[in-house]
Amino acid sequence: MKDLFEKIYKDKGPLGKWAAQAEGYFVFPKLEGEISNRMKFQGKEVITWSINDYLGLANHPEVRKVDAEAAAQYGSAYPMGARMMSGHTDLHEQLQNELAEFVHKEAAYLLNFGYQGMVSTVDALVSKDDIIVYDVDAHACIIDGVRLHHGKRFTYKHNDIESLEKNLERATKMAEQTGGGILVISEGVFGMRGEQGRLKEIVALKQKFNFRLFVDDAHGFGTLGKTGAGAGEEQGVQDDIDVYFATFAKSLASTGAFIAADQEIIDYLKYNLRSQMFAKSLQMQLVVGALKRLDMLRTMPELKQNLWKIVDALQSGLKDRGFDIGTTQSCVTPVYLNGSIPEAMALVRDLRENYGIFCSIVVYPVIPKGLILLRMIPTATHTLQDVAETLDAFDAIRERLENGTYKRMSAALIKAMGE
Ligand SMILES: Cc1ncc(COP(=O)(O)O)c(C=O)c1O
């Protein structure tokens, strides 16, 4: 009989196999210093384009003060126990009420982490006779939620309404046999490429098909819509989203998440979300901190205006210089270049070491072979000077990529990787 660990000793997995070349630099890098537009990487200052602190709240003095006071008052233990048993407080309820109001829903419920909350919400919304139809590019937490489902599931092509319609036809036929219903899941903003989910068109399909819509709006909450209520508000269909999800990990620069829906749906989820029923309550420091952040979202529209000033300058600057930024409709700013993985590594090293620019890099198998995706997250803490320096650096690295500099630099690396 095989030792269970045999496969682990042999195969580190699709990402783990790059650990020797990548760890500490391309993956698991350590950014140091205060969270802001400029931080330190390996002792050198870099302009950071890889942190989801959209509204610049992470290090805002008022936020830091409230966080520190809450930590002093409550410590990191309070309240002890799961919400249902002994971990419930007035402030948890207040935060839920304020979140619900902010995203224009009747009720909301807190989740300790977005990822596990999302998994549980998908799990709780469906029973084995129901059918899930979801975007093929869905975030891992949606996919994991779907994995728990004992019934049928269909994917539709990414943001492709024709494909969604075809799958809704299949799902409808199947649901008629099983006697179940249909749950459609999309993201409000797709975090890798920045497109908004086509919520308006998805909602229009409700005229033709009977389904409920669940939207993960991790990147839209706080950044899109007139009041910051997200992609649904931006597209004028917030009311038609049956269950809305957002995390505190991006615009609110914290930890935690929530779902919002009609009161009756939240009342049901409250008693059926396994990851919340059997896990410790969101700690008070995070609850108090989220109340403060939400208040700032409501009362300081300049935060979102500053963010969009930087987004517009970065995205229009890149486009004017002929860069391919794909089809983004949000703050997420991808830059697509052509090159191999070793070239991508040489390019990113050059960007960091010689131009002081830190952005995330995405390569095959996440995107097609031969493409390099540099993913940038503008925030309200960036300046127009940061944008100007970054655009100049991008011009320089594109030239080196095109004239073969990185190919030559990476020859040794290619050899080492046996490509
Ligand atoms: C689209 C999306 N959904 C869910 C999550 C998970 O949220 P959390 O970080 O709060 O676990 C993330 C990442 O933060 C995300 O990008």
Handedness of CA 118, 120, 126, 129 (dihedral sign): positive
The neighbour count for residue 369, using CB atoms within 10 Å, is 9
Query: Residue 96: what residue type?
Result: Q
Tell me: the pLDDT tens digits for 23-46?
A: 899 889 999 999 999 999 999 999
CA of 326 to the centre of ligand 1 (A): 22
Q: Whose CA is nearest to atom 8 of ligand 1?
A: 114
Residue 365: is it exposed, middle or buried by C-beta count within 10 angstroms (0-12/13-18/19+)? exposed
Query: Residue 320: what residue type?
Result: D
Q: Give the percent of the chain with pLDDT over 90.
A: 89
Query: Residue 308: what residue type?
Result: W
Q: Whose CA is nearest to atom 15 of ligand 1?
A: 218
- Determine the CATH number of domain 6-54+301-417: 3.90.1150.10
Structure tokens that stand for 388 in this block: 């100007």
At 366, the pLDDT band (50, 70, 90 cuts) reads confident
Q: Mean of the per-residue pLDDT values for the chain?
A: 95
Tell me: the pLDDT tens digits for 8-17?
A: 898 877 777 7
**Residue 118 CB–ligand 1 contact under 6 Å:** yes
CA of 247 to the centre of ligand 1 (A): 6
CA of 400 to the centre of ligand 1 (A): 35
CA of 4 to the centre of ligand 1 (A): 31
- Kindly give the interhelix angle for 61-74 and 284-299, rounded to the nearest 10 degrees: 150
**Residue 113 CB–ligand 1 contact under 6 Å:** yes
d(CA 352, CA 337): 17
- Mean pLDDT for the stretch of residues 390-401: 97
Q: What is the CA radius of gyration of the chain?
A: 22
Stretch among 6-15, 104-113, 117-126 having the lowest mean pLDDT: 6-15
Pocket test for ligand 1, best of 111, 139, 377 (most atoms within 8 A of CB): 139
Q: Give the percent of the chain with pLDDT over 70.
A: 98
d(CA 162, CA 90): 46
d(CA 117, CA 101): 20
CA of 411 to the centre of ligand 1 (A): 37
19 or 288: which carries more pLDDT confidence? 288
**Residue 141 CB–ligand 1 contact under 6 Å:** yes
252 or 12: which carries more pLDDT confidence? 252
Question: Global pTM?
Answer: 0.95
- Mean pLDDT for the stretch of residues 265-275: 97
**Phi–psi pair at 347, nearest 5 degrees:** -65, -45
Tell me: the pLDDT tens digits for 196-240?
A: 999 999 999 999 999 999 999 999 999 999 999 999 999 999 999
Ligand 1 atom with the smallest distance to the CA of 255 is 10
CA of 219 to the centre of ligand 1 (A): 9
Q: Does 418 score more than 70 pLDDT?
A: no
Tell me: the pLDDT tens digits for 52-89?
A: 999 999 999 999 999 999 999 999 999 999 999 999 99
At 417, the pLDDT band (50, 70, 90 cuts) reads low
Pocket test for ligand 1, best of 54, 119, 247, 252 (most atoms within 8 A of CB): 247
> What pLDDT, on the 0 to 100 scale, is given for residue 15?
73
Q: Does 416 score more than 70 pLDDT?
A: no
Q: Does 126 score more than 90 pLDDT?
A: yes
Tell me: the pLDDT tens digits for 148-177?
A: 999 999 999 999 999 999 999 999 999 999
> What pLDDT, on the 0 to 100 scale, is given for residue 262?
98
**Residue 115 CB–ligand 1 contact under 6 Å:** yes
CA of 218 to the centre of ligand 1 (A): 6
> What pLDDT, on the 0 to 100 scale, is given for residue 73?
98
Q: Whose CA is nearest to atom 3 of ligand 1?
A: 218
Three-state DSSP string of the chain:
CCCCCHHHHHCCCCCHHHHHHHECCCECCCEECCCCCEEEECCEEEEECCCCCCCCCCCCHHHHHHHHHHHHHHCCCCCCCCCCCCCCCHHHHHHHHHHHHHCCCCEEEEECCHHHHHHHHHHHHCCCCCEEEEECCCCHHHHHHHHCCCCCEEEECCCCHHHHHHHHHHHHHHHHHHCCCEEEEEECECCCCCCECCHHHHHHHHHCCCCEEEEECCCCCCCCCCCCCCHHHHCCCHHHCCEEEEECCCCCCCCCEEEEECHHHHHHHHCCCHHHHCCCCCCHHHHHHHHHHHHHHHHCHHHHHHHHHHHHHHHHHHHHCCCECCCCCCCCEEEEEECCHHHHHHHHHHHHHHHCEECEEECCCCCCCCEEEEEECCCCCCCHHHHHHHHHHHHHHHHHHHCCHHHHHCHHHHHHHCC
CA of 374 to the centre of ligand 1 (A): 20
Q: Residue 332: name the closest of 137, 184, 196, 146 by CA.
A: 196
Tell me: the pLDDT tens digits for 290-317?
A: 999 999 999 999 999 999 999 999 999 9
Q: Whose CA is nearest to atom 2 of ligand 1?
A: 218
CA of 114 to the centre of ligand 1 (A): 5
> What pLDDT, on the 0 to 100 scale, is given for residue 386?
98
414 or 233: which carries more pLDDT confidence? 233
Q: Does 384 score more than 60 pLDDT?
A: yes
CA of 52 to the centre of ligand 1 (A): 11
Q: Does 181 score more than 70 pLDDT?
A: yes
**Residue 234 CB–ligand 1 contact under 6 Å:** no
Residue 64: is it exposed, middle or buried by C-beta count within 10 angstroms (0-12/13-18/19+)? middle
Ligand 1 atom with the smallest distance to the CA of 111 is 10
Residue with tokens 């224009």: 104
Measure CA 222 to chain center. Answer: 13
Domain positions in the chain are 6-54+301-417, 61-299
Q: Does 18 score more than 80 pLDDT?
A: no
**Phi–psi pair at 281, nearest 5 degrees:** -60, 155
> What pLDDT, on the 0 to 100 scale, is given for residue 12?
78
- Mean pLDDT for the stretch of residues 338-359: 94
Is CATH 3.90.230.10 the classification given to domain 61-299?
Answer: no
**Phi–psi pair at 174, nearest 5 degrees:** -65, -40
**Residue 218 CB–ligand 1 contact under 6 Å:** yes
Pocket test for ligand 1, best of 115, 193, 224 (most atoms within 8 A of CB): 115
- The Cβ-side half-sphere exposure at 240, using a 13 Å CA radius, reads 20
